[in-house]
């Protein structure tokens, strides 16, 4: 029996619904948002529409380790998946350990949400008015999201004179970018992932002064490392580097932003202008203005897409996508997904839960096309699941 729309859905339906959410991979704790259409703890190896959001145009999605956040065209936020750490933002008096259906976050109903980032135990969103909200927990040991055991979204008053435009969450840290290109970091810092020049933790958002002359336009957090892209197309990384995820050619860790500027055999820069970056647990991927994809770091499951499983310490062009113009890249914990300019989706890396969307559970170390009858607009990759927006 098909589900009937709620009154809220009926009164807020757009005139035309053209942007749909599809998910695939692990459904542990209901992270795929299918409701009772698929058993909790099972998996979906092929992309499948989240029918419970069929009355809404979906504009943005973020996959955490075991939960998912979705923004609709009217700026509303829905979450689903694991909630044992309060990462869904559901009121404490309505607490559940997980939720397998998209749940509207009522406490943010007066805000228009423009960005969302889901990690392991916390979530952060940015509003159209430049406010930052976070919620979740940190295993009860440290306030990496600025709020300890908060199930309800909490607004950061430290940014009352700033307009936040983007946010990214790592395992135990958070990075926010202002409309002026400033970068603020807070949370755990034992690997230097805050970029403040030391390894002291802080719950208070702190600006990275060493790059004050740069304007940051893209940011991404891995578990223990961070990457930034400037408006001039430069890439900075910092934090844990033991797998080569910082792209400097070694495995050292750095506590402050360092410029990644690899050279070819003739001394020329390998890439001239980066437009975006995304970080997995221990790997990193960047897209250049010309649409090329470069990856580096851990490659144990083939998540770099280079045709082998060897660790790479310097940015390496993904030859399997030669001739294909890349629009966006998303790094999950151990897998990677890219969207092309013409709306195709390629995936590679770990596939133990079907998170590559290829219909099987075998790891793949080369970019492989996910056959879709719709155009893919954007993608997000999580711990063991993937989400795409199609039209």
Give pLDDT, residue 2. Answer: 37
146-186 pLDDT, tens digit each: 555 677 899 998 888 999 999 999 999 999 999 999 999 99
Q: How many domains does the chain have?
A: 1
Give pLDDT, residue 272. Answer: 77
Please tell me the distance from the alpha carbon of residue 40 to that of residue 47, in angstroms, as a whole number: 17
Residue 127 lies inside a defined structural domain of this protein: yes
CATH of the domain at 82: 2.130.10.30
Pairing label, strands 335-340, 345-349: antiparallel
pLDDT above 90: residue 100: yes
CB atoms within 10 A of CB 184: 22
Mean pLDDT of 179-207: 95
304-345 pLDDT, tens digit each: 999 999 999 999 999 999 999 999 999 999 999 999 999 999
Looking at the DSSP assignment, which residues form a beta bridge with residue 298? none
277-292 pLDDT, tens digit each: 999 999 999 999 999 9
pLDDT above 60: residue 7: no
Residue 252 lies inside a defined structural domain of this protein: yes
Residue 251 lies inside a defined structural domain of this protein: yes
Please tell me which residue, 95 or 259, carries the higher pLDDT value.
Answer: 259
Give pLDDT, residue 92. Answer: 67
Residue 3 lies inside a defined structural domain of this protein: no
Residue 1 lies inside a defined structural domain of this protein: no
Mean pLDDT of 295-304: 98
Give pLDDT, residue 141. Answer: 47
pLDDT above 70: residue 273: yes
Cβ contacts of 94 within 8 Å, gap of 6 or more: none
Our measurement of the distance from residue 277's CA atom to the centroid of its chain's CA atoms, rounded to an integer in Å, reads 10
65-76 pLDDT, tens digit each: 999 999 999 999
Residue 10 lies inside a defined structural domain of this protein: no
Mean pLDDT of 36-60: 91
At residue 266 the predicted structure's pLDDT band, cuts being 50, 70 and 90, is confident
Give pLDDT, residue 11. Answer: 42
Q: Are 328 and 388 in contact (CB under 8 A)?
A: no
pLDDT above 50: residue 209: yes
Please tell me the distance from the alpha carbon of residue 246 to that of residue 238, in angstroms, as a whole number: 6
356-374 pLDDT, tens digit each: 999 999 999 999 999 999 9
Give pLDDT, residue 347. Answer: 99
Please tell me the distance from the alpha carbon of residue 90 to that of residue 152, in angstroms, as a whole number: 6
Please tell me the distance from the alpha carbon of residue 101 to that of residue 80, in angstroms, as a whole number: 6
At residue 12 the predicted structure's pLDDT band, cuts being 50, 70 and 90, is low
Mean pLDDT estimate for the chain: 92
The parent domain of residue 353 ranges over 18-390
Of 99-103, 270-274, 286-290, which range is least confident?
A: 270-274
In degrees and rounded to multiples of 5, residue 37 shows phi and psi of -75, -15
pLDDT above 90: residue 250: yes
Residue 4 lies inside a defined structural domain of this protein: no
Residue 278 lies inside a defined structural domain of this protein: yes
């Amino acid at each position: 029996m098909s589900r009937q729309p709620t009154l809220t859905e009926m009164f807020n339906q757009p005139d035309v619904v053209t942007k749909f959410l599809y998910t695939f991979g692990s459904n542990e704790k209901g992270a795929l948002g299918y409701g009772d259409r698929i058993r909790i703890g099972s998996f979906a190896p092929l992309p499948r529409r989240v029918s419970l959001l069929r009355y809404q145009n979906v504009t943005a999605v973020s996959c955490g380790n075991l939960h998912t956040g979705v923004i609709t065209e009217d700026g509303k936020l829905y979450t689903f998946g694991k909630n044992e750490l309060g990462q869904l933002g559901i009121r404490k008096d309505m607490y559940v350990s997980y939720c397998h259906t998209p749940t509207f976050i009522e406490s943010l109903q007066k805000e228009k949400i423009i960005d969302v980032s889901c990690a392991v135990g916390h979530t952060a969103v940015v509003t159209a008015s430049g406010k930052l909200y976070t919620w979740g927990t940190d295993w009860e040991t440290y306030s990496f999201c600025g709020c300890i055991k908060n199930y309800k979204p909490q607004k950061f008053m430290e940014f009352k004179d700033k307009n936040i435009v983007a946010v990214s969450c790592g395992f135990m840290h958070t990075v926010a970018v202002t409309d002026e290109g400033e970068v603020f970091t807070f949370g755990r810092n034992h690997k230097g992932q805050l970029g403040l020049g030391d390894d002291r933790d802080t719950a208070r958002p702190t600006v990275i002064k060493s790059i004050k002359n740069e304007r940051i336009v893209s940011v991404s957090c891995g578990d223990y490392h961070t990457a930034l892209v400037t408006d001039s197309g430069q890439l900075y990384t910092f934090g844990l580097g033991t797998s080569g995820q910082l792209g400097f050619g070694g495995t050292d860790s750095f506590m402050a932003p360092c410029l990644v500027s690899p050279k070819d055999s003739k001394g020329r820069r390998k890439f001239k202008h980066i437009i975006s970056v995304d970080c997995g647990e221990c790997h990193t991927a960047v897209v250049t203005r010309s649409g090329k994809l470069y990856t580096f770091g851990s490659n144990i499951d083939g998540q770099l897409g280079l045709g082998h499983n060897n660790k790479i310490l310097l940015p390496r062009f993904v030859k399997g996508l030669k001739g294909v113009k890349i629009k966006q890249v998303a790094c999950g914990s151990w897998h990677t997904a890219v969207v092309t300019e013409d709306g195709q989706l390629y995936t590679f890396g770990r596939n133990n839960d079907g998170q590559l969307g290829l219909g099987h559970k075998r790891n793949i170390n080369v970019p492989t096309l996910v056959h879709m009858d719709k155009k893919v607009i954007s993608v997000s990759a999580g711990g063991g699941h993937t989400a795409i927006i199609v039209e």
